[in-house]
């Protein structure tokens, strides 16, 4: 009786909290006529801003794909081919380690049918789908789709005829849907994140230009350029004017290069190339060539005749002569600036849009400013350090950095192809070798072809060597599963490894759970060996037995942010200790597609007329009814009377905030 009353109260409570239940997708259905007997059943999804709906075609072990089921009580119609969908967006998801297609704002699906009767018929369909935003995912949702169709009876099609019709219609359906989706998303898409990305690229390119300035091909050109302007200028005002024109000429030349790259590839196609296998392999090879060149194996130079012709034009003087002087600088210094420019353009190409132009503006500004200022104020030359072997050291350091960066592009290709040749441990091992060799070079233990004899190590070089060596040592635990947050954007994700999360890393911190101590109905949740139950009643009974509070983890196998919490927050020592020793974890997967036992199949309280068919639906309805929400991840700390110890929380990437929540819940449990 008590359970019945509790069930009624929680249901009424859920009705009052209905506004907290997320329902970011609404569907409309229409029918399009193809011929007297052929029709399209059209389903249009209107998706709230910030949410995305997954495609019907999602790789295995990815999120829940959208799926359709069209049914009829009698043989009144025939499905012709698969349900077609629009182009949508495809991007590489690091958490799942795969390319995933999804839809934003709106999506259109079309199912071709042929009527086998002239009577008016009602077709009932069902859509299963999953949606996510940046902080949460919703459990698989099922909604009915209703259509009314009347036309002339057509002939039953053979399999071969269906395949032929499907092939003819597929392209046109997708193109129409693609036009609508693209037109709407282009208007809404200039986000703050894009602007932030361009600013970041500009700053990085500026520092790349400054690094290029400190190479042996460019740095010695500064006093030569100053001498040129000192001789050509009649007075100080003319000298400053010529210096400014010279600096602007440098910027114009490099920005023009960015414009050319953007025009050749197209502003939109560059971003698509970033996840293209051939794009990544080609730039891996290019960066290896650039790196080997910087390390001293050979020099990349432009034909000497180009420099001679440009020098002749520069001798003519005037504004044209100054422009050609800037062009001559670019050509003469190409052996040093070329690899850096190439790398900057690769990074810009991966971002797409006008990024190559922004990148070249930042790069050229860093080079142009010193030349302009020293040409305008020659007296400042006295403060410049003298040229020497340190310039080649800068070049070699850049070579090592380009070598490390090259493997990021090879890793991208390996991830897309899922070859598992360059898994996380291998990638980190390569970076340890590269930066370890760089540290030895800075300490003078390795010498390369163009290095000057090293009689002693300067304080600056020693300091840089210590920084690089510290970074190398920092990466070593990554071979055993440490997250390496400082470089998390570079290596493959933790699950893309020979031993996911590393050998031994899952066992670090928080104590150990013996396999012999696992109670009935529980298991050790990988990779952290946290004792976990996947059944509510069983976990609650065990919590009462051992007198510990219950932590309910409403999660999903395809929940991106659930995995982020488990990878980035749960492994922290204090958090892991609590999860392993102080609470009883009950993980309820709302997308568990295992069918319920026959005796457990009941009517849905939230969707009258529907039955709960899967285990995941049972937990999803429990969350919605009891807590008035349907988003994951969702964490609840409760006592043995099933009362909350404090307010539940969702996605909480801040470790300190999550730890504070756990500690407050434990303190409240002690007071009971």
Strands 522-525, 141-149: pairing is: unpaired
Same-domain pairing of 115 and 218: no
Q: Which one of 255-264, 268-277, 382-391, 410-419 scores highest in mean pLDDT? A: 410-419
pLDDT at 265: 55
If asked whether residues 296 and 149 sit together in one domain, one would say no
State whether 126 and 44 are in the same domain.
yes
Domain encompassing residue 204: 193-382
The pLDDT value given to residue 437: 94
Q: Per-residue pLDDT tens for 152-186?
A: 888 888 877 777 776 666 555 455 555 455 444 44
Quick one: pLDDT at residue 87?
82
484 belongs to a structural domain: no
Is residue 460, in this structure, part of any structural domain at all?
A: no
Closest CA to 153 of 113, 186, 190, 189: 113
For the segment 573-612, what is each residue's pLDDT rounded down to a tens digit? 889 989 988 999 999 988 777 888 877 777 877 777 777 8
Q: Tell me, yes or no, whether 8 lies in a domain.
A: no
- Summarised one tens digit per residue, pLDDT across range 49-61 is 888 899 988 887 7
Q: How confident is the model at residue 550 (pLDDT cuts 50, 70, 90)?
A: very high
Name the pLDDT band for 512 (thresholds 50, 70, 90). very low
CATH code of the domain covering residue 528 = 3.40.30.10
Choose one of 185, 205, 221: the last residue of a domain.
Answer: 185
Residue 148 has pLDDT above 50, yes or no: yes
Give the separation between CA 251 and CA 261, rounded to whole angstroms. Answer: 16
Better-predicted residue by pLDDT, 321 or 588: 588
158: domain CATH number? Answer: 2.60.40.1250
CA dist 604 and 620 (Å) reads 11
Domain end position, chosen among 140, 160, 185 = 185
Same domain as 113, residue 210: no
642 and 522 housed in the same domain = yes
- Do 276 and 230 share a structural domain? yes
Give per-residue pLDDT as tens, 88-135.
888 877 666 678 888 988 999 999 888 888 888 888 888 888 888 777
The total number of structural domains in the chain stands at 3
CA pair distance 412, 279, nearest whole angstrom = 10
- Are both 29 and 160 inside the same structural domain? yes
Classify each residue of 452-466 as buried b or exposed e, where b means 16 or more C-beta atoms within 10 Å of its C-beta.
eeeeeeeeebeebbe
Q: Same domain for 180 and 204? A: no
List CB contacts of 366: < 8 A, sequence separation 6 or more: 205, 206, 207, 208, 209, 210, 212, 213
Domain end call among 331, 356, 382: 382
pTM assigned to the model: 0.45
pLDDT, one tens digit per residue, over 396-452 is 887 888 888 888 878 878 876 767 888 888 999 999 999 999 999 999 888 888 777
Return the pLDDT at 473: 95
- CB contact at 8 A, 258 and 348: yes
Cis peptide before 109 (omega within 30 of 0): no
In the structure encoding, which two tokens stand for residue 134, read together?
A: 């940046």
The helix/strand count (H/E) of the chain reads as 19, 16
**Cβ atoms < 10 Å from Cβ of 32:** 12
Confirm if 552 and 586 have CB atoms less than 8 A apart.
yes
- Which of 4-18, 30-44, 261-275, 506-520 ranks highest by mean pLDDT? 30-44
Q: What is the side-by-side strand order in the sheet with 89-93? A: 89-93, 98-104, 52-54, 131-132
């Amino acid at each position: 009786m008590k359970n019945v009353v509790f069930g009624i109260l929680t249901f009424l409570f859920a009705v009052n909290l209905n506004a907290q239940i997320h329902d970011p997708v609404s569907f409309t259905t229409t029918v399009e006529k193809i011929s007297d007997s052929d029709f399209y059943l059209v389903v249009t999804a209107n998706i709230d801003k910030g949410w995305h709906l997954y495609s019907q075609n999602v790789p295995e072990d990815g999120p829940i794909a959208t799926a359709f089921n069209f049914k009829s009580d009698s043989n009144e119609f025939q499905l012709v081919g698969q349900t077609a969908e629009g182009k949508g967006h495809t991007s590489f998801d690091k958490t799942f380690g795969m390319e995933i297609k999804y839809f934003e704002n709106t999506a259109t699906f079309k199912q071709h049918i042929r009527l086998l009767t002239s009577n008016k018929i009602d077709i009932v369909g069902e859509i299963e789908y999953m949606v996510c935003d940046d902080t949460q995912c919703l459990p698989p949702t099922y909604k009915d789709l209703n259509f009314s169709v009347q036309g002339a009876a057509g002939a039953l099609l053979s399999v071969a005829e269906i395949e032929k019709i499907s092939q003819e219609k597929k392209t046109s359906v997708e193109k129409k849907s693609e036009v609508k989706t693209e037109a709407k998303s282009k208007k809404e898409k200039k986000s703050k994140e894009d602007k932030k990305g361009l600013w970041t690229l500009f700053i990085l390119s500026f520092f790349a230009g400054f690094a290029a300035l400190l190479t042996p091909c460019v740095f010695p050109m500064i006093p030569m350029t100053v001498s040129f302007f000192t001789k050509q200028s009649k007075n100080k005002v003319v000298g400053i004017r010529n210096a400014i024109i010279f600096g602007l000429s440098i910027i114009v030349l490099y920005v023009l290069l960015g414009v050319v790259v953007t025009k050749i590839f197209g502003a939109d196609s560059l971003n698509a190339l970033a996840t293209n296998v051939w794009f990544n392999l080609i730039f891996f090879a290019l960066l290896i060539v650039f790196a080997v060149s910087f390390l001293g194996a050979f020099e990349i130079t432009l034909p000497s005749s180009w420099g001679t012709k440009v020098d002749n034009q520069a001798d003519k003087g005037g504004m044209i002569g100054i422009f050609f002087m800037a062009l001559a600088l670019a050509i003469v210094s190409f052996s040093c600036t070329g690899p850096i420019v190439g790398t900057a353009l690769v990074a810009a190409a991966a971002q797409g849009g006008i990024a190559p132009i922004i990148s070249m503006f930042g790069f050229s500004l860093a080079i142009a400013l010193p030349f302009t200022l020293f040409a305008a104020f020659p007296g400042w030359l006295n403060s410049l350090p003298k040229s020497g072997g340190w310039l080649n050291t800068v070049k070699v350091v850049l070579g090592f950095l380009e070598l490390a960066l090259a493997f990021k592009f090879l890793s991208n290709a390996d991830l897309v192809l899922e070859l598992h040749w360059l898994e996380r441990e291998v990638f980190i091992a390569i970076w340890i070798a590269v930066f370890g060799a760089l540290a030895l070079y800075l300490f003078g233990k390795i010498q390369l072809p163009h290095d000057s004899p090293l009689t002693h190590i300067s304080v600056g070089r020693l300091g840089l060597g210590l920084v690089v060596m510290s970074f190398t040592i920092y990466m070593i635990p990554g071979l055993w599963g440490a997250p390496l947050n400082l470089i998390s954007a570079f290596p493959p994700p933790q699950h893309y490894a020979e031993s996911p999360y590393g050998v031994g890393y899952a066992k670090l911190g928080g104590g150990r759970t013996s396999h012999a101590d696992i109670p009935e109905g529980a298991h050790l949740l990988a990779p952290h060996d946290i004792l976990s139950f996947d059944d509510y009643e069983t976990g609650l009974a065990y919590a009462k037995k051992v007198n510990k509070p219950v932590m309910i983890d409403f999660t999903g196998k395809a929940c991106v942010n659930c995995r982020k919490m488990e990878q980035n927050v749960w492994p922290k020592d204090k958090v892991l200790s609590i999860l392993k020793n102080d609470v009883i974890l009950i993980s309820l997967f709302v997308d568990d597609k295992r069918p319920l036992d026959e005796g457990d199949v009941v009517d849905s309280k939230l969707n009258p007329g529907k039955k709960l068919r899967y285990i995941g639906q049972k937990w999803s309805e429990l969350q919605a009814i009891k807590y008035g929400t349907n988003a994951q991840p969702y964490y609840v700390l409760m006592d043995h009377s099933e009362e909350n110890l404090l307010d539940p929380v969702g996605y909480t990437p801040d470790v300190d905030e999550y730890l504070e929540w756990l500690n407050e819940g434990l303190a409240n449990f002690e007071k009971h």
